Every structure is written in C-alpha cells, then in structure tokens.
Amino acid sequence: MTWNPKPFKDRGVLITGAGRGIGQAAAEKFAAAGASLFLCDVDAESLAETQALLGEATEVGVIARDLTQLDAPQAIVQAALSQFERIDVVVNNAGYIWNGAMHRHSEAQWQAMLDIHATVPFRLLQAFANWMIPTARAELEASGAATPRKVVNISSVSGTQGSATQVAYATGKAAVVGLTKTLAKEWGRYNVQVNAVAFGHIETRLTQAFETSPPSIEHAGQAYKVGLSNQQIEHLRRTVPLGRPGHVDEAAGAILLMALPEANYITGEVLTCSGGA
C-alpha cells in the first residue's frame, strides 16, 4: 500500500476557531495535506493572519463570525458550500475558558460555556446534516456507497476526567462526547465517521504560564482569565508521562489522524492527546 502525501486534495475542510492556537495549526496541517479550507473565527484579524500563513497555494475561504449567534453556523456551512460545493471534514474547534469555583459560577458563565462548547457544534452539525444527508442518500442510490466524510469534535481531558474550577467548561466538553457518540450511531449509514479529540495540556494562549496573577484574553468585548501558574505547570510536567506540554502542531496531528482515510473504520471514539496523562 502506498502513502498518499496529499490525502485531502480536492477535499473541503471546515475548521472553526482557526484564527490562532490549535485551529490555526490544524489549518496549516490540512493545507499541507492538500485540502481546500473554509475557516471561521470571531476574530477577523487573527483569521487574516492564518490566511496569510497558508499562502496562495491553498484555496481558502474565511468568515469572521461569532459562532454563538443563532444564524452563524448555518451561514458558515452555506458559505463553505457556495465556495467548494462540498464539505468532507468538519472540525469543531472554537472555544475558550471561563473558569471559577463551582459555588462562584454565574448563570451567564454556565450558559456561555455550554453555548460555545455544546450548542455551537450541535448547530453546526445540524446545518452540515441538511446538506450531507441528501447528498449521501443520492450517492448511495447512484453507486451503492456514500463518500466517507469526517467530523472531528474537540473535547478536553477536563470533559473526560473533570477539572477543578472548570465545572461549566468541563460539562460542555463532556457534552461533546455525547454528541460525538450519538452522531456516530446516527450517521454510520451515511458513511460519516464522527470522532472527538480530547486534549490535555497544549501550549496556546489559554494555557500560557504566569508567575503570580493570571493574564486575561479578550473575547467578544469581555476579559477572561487564562493561563496556568508555574506551579501548575511544574505539577503537569511531573504527572505527564512525556514530561512536557503538547505543541499545537502535535494537537493538529491528532485532529488530522481522525480525518485521514486510514481512519475510515474508526467512529464514535474519543482520542486522548495528552502526552499520556
């Protein structure tokens, strides 16, 4: 069997949260593997940076939208289909953290974490289904087989194992597992493989190191505390078998693995990418 260096040539790949971090690295990874990319992020400037990084060899469409707006997922799927007339891979990656002890979580905090981590992937995949199901049915009728398509949902070890100060985030990321396993059962008949990748500690702005007080990121006009204290990072180094955090390129590699044709008989799984933690 030969190895195809461009397995995504003539394939359309939709990635959310592609302006930076893991989503940006995933865009680079899929571009190197030949994909046409449709990228979304709430942050137009960082999305433009990703587009510039990809260069002109890659066919790219971008849309700067806040995915939590009710009509955004449908608009993004429509825009991707208008440009490429196909979506072969959906990567549900956009997300952020809003941490705090359980007894101090506000209603808004709880809802915001469920919105971005559970509701947005649900809506995006429902919009995808509106195109994918009739398309797969027509393929089945015409040739007896539907094109293999992939969904890679991004979860977290916070969702699969729990994490103190992240009750809303962890619940949203656990919901991703339910969504993944359920759609794997519903969409097997359409030859869609639906898997999740649960990340451990990957170096991005969400996990940047700090000495005494945590830094903040701005998201939709609000500031959110992020980062890991040097003490937490030292603890992780001791407890992670590989002894280090993951690089975004390694995180992107795990996403790509689940989208490769080599993974055509893997569905409903949660791949942990955590250096063994």
Establish if 227 lies at the interface with ligand NAD (CB under 6 A).
no
Span near ligand NAD by CB under 6 A; candidates 35-43, 82-90, 144-152, 160-168: 35-43
Say if CB 13 and CB 37 are below 8 A apart.
Answer: yes
Q: Smallest distance, Å, CB 158 to ligand NAD?
A: 7
Neighbour tally for 69: CB within 10 Å: 12
Establish if 39 lies at the interface with ligand NAD (CB under 6 A).
no
Query: Residue 59, CB half-sphere, CA atoms under 13 Å: how many?
Result: 13
Span near ligand NAD by CB under 6 A; candidates 29-37, 64-72, 78-86, 132-140: 64-72
- The CA–CA distances, whole Å, from 106 to 100, 103, 109, 112, 175 equal 9, 9, 5, 10, 19
Label residue 87 exposed, middle or buried (CB < 10 Å: 0-12, 13-18, 19+). Answer: buried
Identity of the residue, 222 or 264, whose beta carbon is nearer to ligand NAD in the bound complex: 222
Identity of the residue, 72 or 146, whose beta carbon is nearer to ligand NAD in the bound complex: 72
DSSP, res 212: S
Span near ligand NAD by CB under 6 A; candidates 39-47, 103-111, 124-132, 143-151: 39-47
Instruction: State the Cα–Cα distance between residues 245 and 231, nearest whole angstrom.
Output: 14
Identity of the residue, 4 or 126, whose beta carbon is nearer to ligand NAD in the bound complex: 126
Establish if 205 lies at the interface with ligand NAD (CB under 6 A).
yes
Say if CB 22 and CB 199 are below 8 A apart.
Answer: yes
Identity of the residue, 12 or 21, whose beta carbon is nearer to ligand NAD in the bound complex: 21
Q: By CB under 6 A, name the binding residues for ligand NAD.
A: 17, 19-23, 40-43, 46, 66-68, 93-96, 116, 154, 156, 199, 201-202, 204-207
